[in-house]
Amino acid sequence: MKLIQKFLKNFLKKQKNSNIRDVIFGIRPRLITGFSIIFLIATSILLGITYIYQYNLLFNEKTRTINKLSKLLGNIAEILLEKNLMDTKIEIENKTRFVENNIENFLNLNEDVFQILLTDKKYKIILSRGEKIVSQKQIDKLINKKIPISNYTIFKTNITQESTNIYECKLVVSPIYQVSGLLISVNEDFDRAYKKIYLQGIGIKEKEKILNSLKEKYKEFFEKDKDIKDIQTPEELFLILYAYLYKKNNLEIEKGYTYLISRNWLERENKKIEKGINENNLTLIKESYDEIYKNLSKLREFGEKSKFIGYNIVVLNITNIVNTINSNLLNLIIIFGIIYILSVLTIFYVSKIYVNNIKKLEKWGIEVSNGNLSAKVEIKSRDEIGRLSDIFNHMLDEIISRYHLEKFVSKSTISMVKDKKDKEISLGKVGRKNFAFLFSDIRGFTSFSEKNPPEVVVEVLNTYLNLQSQIVRKYRGDIDDFVGDQIMAHFGGEKRADTAIKVAIEIIQEISKLNENRRNQKLPIFEVGIGVHIGDVVVGTVGSEFRMDFACVGDAVNTCSRLCSVAQPMEIIASKDIVESSTKNFKYEKLPPINLKGKEKPFEIFRIIS
């Protein structure tokens, strides 16, 4: 029932103010909706950027950790990948356990790592620790299909009695480079010892000293190969070491250089050196040493390129990383949600102040439209709406001033001002018009005004003038002026003569009624004499540049004024012109012609019988 009453109330209200639109989507919903859209877009972009940034950050962090592991394993993984014979069996076992322990520790410290594999250069698995997710068969399948192993995605399914979980995993592949072992040791000794022999040209004793120290260093290695016990030169020593490394470890040699790992070329160059010594040919000796150094440097270069010994493959649990990111994003969403709620509440509170001020303006506007010109809008806020309220109050004051000023100005004057608008209004002729004029004078009022207080005089005068003015206005006449107790009006239109006569008759009738009421109240009564005439006049602005009036000037005005003077109390005197211009059959009586000032001939007049 209440809903129906509310609906009918709103419906009737809408019918009453049908020219005022309803507020469907106000300022407050607009502000909140606009803010929500902007906040949603900004939050979505920020969350997207945060997700990508965190994913890359976590994934890169894991990759860096894996690379550190690979570097750590590079120090010791050659035990498994290179089979370094410089270490004893016990040392190899210890280092192997060390590799396995490091891998186990890494798995324990990183829950998002499922499996770690060590492979050789051809992806053959040498060691696997952790969950068995990736097998040799899977790796071979990827290689056969030429699918990059690095960042390859696989899925791990974990089935328990309670639930089934599927994990997304990526294979992160890092190369392992040899940082110790026989190859590194040989390269370092070549750079340190043999370059010193070749470049500095040391003596035989110093050369023998270096050779003996190298033999001592690689003593265990020599004892395992009977063919190299009797080494006479450092060149022979390095060639044997490089040849062994290349053959046993399948190190790569560029095509066309495989002959370097044989002794033939060295024996050939040694013979040239003996020949040069016998022949005292220093050039031949130098060329042979240069060739030996160049070939050994080439082997050293190939050995440097062969420091890559295998791969470290880590099976990384991406699901855990994504879950971590999602957890962070959830916290971020909660924070954004709190910020959003606080922002909406702030907007709601602040907008409420503005909306209330706007409603004050709305209420003020409705009151003014209903005729309450004394209404004032009071908004104390020092902002645009507060300034607008001051402007509205000032505007209303100006409207009231103009409204009251219009009471002192004729309709013709107002119409002329509106027509001019922005144009300058100056003195001068405007045009010629044909109007019907009415002059009405209150008889005996001058002596009354001399004997009574001004307040009483003005009150009585306004009573009679207001009555006559209402009748003139009723018939769309224009009151040109009030001169003491006299009123001047003119009428336009096709039936202006009829209108002027009809207004005069109605004034006599209404004055009679007014006098009857005043007589009953024992108040003073007055009668009027009326003159009506029609004719051409000049319509224009008269007066001075700073004070002017819009007036009708001409003989017709003067004639009508004199006819009013001739009229007896409660009598209407009309000219022959207006009687002949009338289209209605008014009752009139022809009177003897009279002499009017400014007229050479007697002027014919009629008495209108009301």
Helix (H, G, I), strand (E, B) or coil at 202: coil
Q: What are phi and psi of 481, to 5 degrees?
A: -165, 155
- Stronger pLDDT, 100 or 475, i.e. the higher one: 475
C-alpha–C-alpha distance, residues 137 and 154, integer Å = 14
Is 60 exceeded by the pLDDT of residue 568? yes
For the ranges 43-57, 70-84, 424-438, 540-554, which has the lowest average pLDDT?
Answer: 70-84
Residues linked to residue 159 through DSSP beta bridges, in sequence order: 164
* Count of C-beta atoms within a 10 Å radius of residue 393: 16
Is 70 exceeded by the pLDDT of residue 518? yes
Site of tokens 């002596």:
447
pLDDT at 407: 58
Q: What percent of the chain has pLDDT above 90?
A: 20
pLDDT at 561: 92
pLDDT at 558: 92
**pLDDT band at 469, cuts 50/70/90?**
very high
C-alpha–C-alpha distance, residues 122 and 125, integer Å = 9
**DSSP 8-state secondary structure symbol assigned to residue 259:** G
- Stronger pLDDT, 425 or 478, i.e. the higher one: 478
For the ranges 252-261, 274-283, 517-526, which has the lowest average pLDDT?
Answer: 252-261
C-alpha–C-alpha distance, residues 253 and 257, integer Å = 6
For the ranges 156-160, 170-174, 311-315, 333-337, which has the lowest average pLDDT?
Answer: 156-160
Site of tokens 């001169």:
483
Domains of the chain listed by start with CATH number: 25-168+313-370 (no CATH), 182-306 (no CATH), 426-608 (3.30.70.1230)
**pLDDT band at 15, cuts 50/70/90?**
very low
- N- to C-terminal Cα separation, the chain: 62
**For the CA atoms of 591, 593, 598, 600, what is the dihedral angle to 10 degrees?**
160
Average pLDDT over residues 274-303: 86
**pLDDT band at 25, cuts 50/70/90?**
confident
Mean pLDDT of the chain: 80
Is 80 exceeded by the pLDDT of residue 424? no
- Given a contact cutoff of 8 angstroms between Cβ atoms, the answer to whether 573 and 531 are in contact is yes
Average pLDDT over residues 382-386: 80
Is 80 exceeded by the pLDDT of residue 443? yes
Is 70 exceeded by the pLDDT of residue 560? yes
Average pLDDT over residues 320-338: 86
For the ranges 9-18, 59-68, 265-274, 477-486, which has the lowest average pLDDT?
Answer: 9-18
Is 90 exceeded by the pLDDT of residue 250? no
For the chain, what's the residue count?
610
Is 90 exceeded by the pLDDT of residue 121? no
- Stronger pLDDT, 144 or 334, i.e. the higher one: 334
**pLDDT band at 508, cuts 50/70/90?**
very high
**DSSP 8-state secondary structure symbol assigned to residue 50:** H
**pLDDT band at 85, cuts 50/70/90?**
very low
Average pLDDT over residues 346-367: 82
**pLDDT band at 375, cuts 50/70/90?**
confident
Average pLDDT over residues 393-417: 66
* Region for 310 from its dihedrals, namely left if φ exceeds 0, alpha if ψ lies in -120 to 50, beta otherwise: left
- Given a contact cutoff of 8 angstroms between Cβ atoms, the answer to whether 454 and 404 are in contact is no
* Count of C-beta atoms within a 10 Å radius of residue 51: 16
Q: Pairing relation of β-strands 527-543 and 571-575? A: parallel
Average pLDDT over residues 87-116: 78
pLDDT at 1: 46
Among 227, 226, 232, 229, smallest CA distance to 267 is for 232
In terms of average pLDDT, the best of 113-122, 144-153, 366-375, 518-527 is 518-527
C-alpha–C-alpha distance, residues 532 and 503, integer Å = 10
pLDDT at 144: 83
pLDDT at 72: 66
User: What are 473-503's pLDDT values in tens digits?
Assistant: 999 999 888 888 899 999 998 999 999 999 9
Is 60 exceeded by the pLDDT of residue 378? yes
Q: Nearest-5° angle of CA 184, CA 175, CA 127?
A: 90
Is 50 exceeded by the pLDDT of residue 111? yes
C-alpha–C-alpha distance, residues 528 and 564, integer Å = 9
Six token digits for residue 593: 């012609």
Q: Nearest-5° angle of CA 61, CA 330, CA 32?
A: 130
Helix (H, G, I), strand (E, B) or coil at 525: coil
User: What are 193-204's pLDDT values in tens digits?
Assistant: 777 777 766 677
Among 240, 85, 237, 102, smallest CA distance to 176 is for 102
Q: What are phi and psi of 195, to 5 degrees?
A: -65, -35
**Helices and strands, number each (H, E), in the chain:** 20, 13
User: What are 56-81's pLDDT values in tens digits?
Assistant: 887 777 777 777 766 666 555 555 66
pTM, entire model: 0.48
Is 80 exceeded by the pLDDT of residue 235? yes
**pLDDT band at 11, cuts 50/70/90?**
very low
Six token digits for residue 154: 């696989």
For the range 289-295, what are the long-range contacts, defined as Cβ-Cβ under 8 Å and sequence gap of 24 or more? 289/198, 292/235, 292/266, 293/194, 293/198, 295/260, 295/265, 295/266
- Given a contact cutoff of 8 angstroms between Cβ atoms, the answer to whether 311 and 123 are in contact is yes
Six token digits for residue 578: 């207006």
pLDDT at 421: 52
C-alpha–C-alpha distance, residues 131 and 128, integer Å = 9
**pLDDT band at 4, cuts 50/70/90?**
very low
pLDDT at 21: 74
